[in-house]
A and B are shown apart, each in its own frame.
Chain A
Amino acid sequence: MLKALVAGLIFGAILQAARIDNFDKVAKFTALRDLTVLRFLLVAVGVGLMVLMPLIVFGFASFHIKPLLLVGIVVGGILFGIGMAILGYCPGTAIIALGNGSLDALIGLIGGLTAGALFTLAYPYLKDFLGPLLDKPHIYLSTPWANIVLALVVGSVLVALAWALREPRQQGDKTGKTS
């Protein structure tokens, strides 16, 4: 578990250093008033893709594709989005935010544990309704180098999109001032 701890240390340090782990940033993103979080994530996914695919092709890493439980993913995604928009954190950033003193994340932590307990207890009765279980979706070409090129292209597009995004025009706040 030391490896998990070290990974988390670096993860928390990055998010805190980039100021991504606070309510204002995430809530403003869901309100489309600040796209920093979206740009951050686009770069993370794009760069991660460009680094990970060669590692997989050369045998240093493996895919971990989750099964596609259609109803579970759709319903879970909706609930996740609602919760994230209200709380201003995702399950990971809530804990990270506690590290900088965000006590409001504690409320989300309690809610998350409660929901986790309820789902765990209800899982035997719910699992038949989370499907249908579709095949693991993936885009993997037959030629290894083609996969690396595809990853570089898609990753570059995501990074370029992050750069191209413009911050939305700020609306006047309640005092009538515009930022």
Chain B
Amino acid sequence: MERKRVLHWFIGGAALGILNALVFTHFWADRPIGASTAYPYVAAKLLGITNEYAQKIAKAGLWEVWFLLGGLIGAFLVAVINKDFKPRLVYPFWEETKGGESLKAGPLRLCRRLSPHMGREDGGGLHQRAYPLGRYATGGFQYHLRAGRYSDGCYFRALVLP
């Protein structure tokens, strides 16, 4: 569901146009707004690349890194103020056209499989031998952690015994 826009596209576009023009002036940055050069600049810094291209983009890349950092902070502040901040991985249009469930469910399924499951171990729940990983006692209970390939896809089981 699309939330109500706060800033009309015309106002936002005009504001962006004015901002770009002002950034162009000698008093501000004497260059246009940009972001793309930040990527090869950061990549070159991370990998220690110092060839001709890396030196060529050094000044512009540094400017754009700071610019994008400011953009990240500005967007975050407005999102928080508008109560629009929400961690998300899949947007409605992707779900509509591509189906997002597998994207969301994949990491969740993996976490579920890797996390220990508490409870009784059914005799028919194993495809392979379960290997004991350890035994812990706390609060009057004993936890027996075992690893195996279980029928429900889980890899770990923790038996809870009084």
Contact = CB atoms under 8 A, between A and B. Distances in A.
Interface of A: 1, 3-24, 27-28, 31, 36, 39-52, 55-56, 60-62, 64, 88, 90-92, 95-104, 112-117, 119-121, 123-124, 127, 162-163, 173-174
Contacts of A92: 33-36, 68, 71
Contacts of B68: 8, 92, 95-96
Contacts of B62: 1
B47 A117 contact: yes
A101 B88 contact: yes
A173 B32 CA distance: 40
Contact of B73 (A12, A20, A45): A12
A101 B66 contact: no
A1 B17 contact: no
Contact of A18 (B8, B41, B91): B8
Interface in B31-74: 31-36, 38-44, 46-47, 49, 51-54, 62-64, 66-74
A91 B38 contact: yes
A104 B90 contact: yes
A64 B17 CA distance: 16
6 contacts: A8-B67, A15-B12, A16-B82, A99-B71, A99-B74, A119-B53
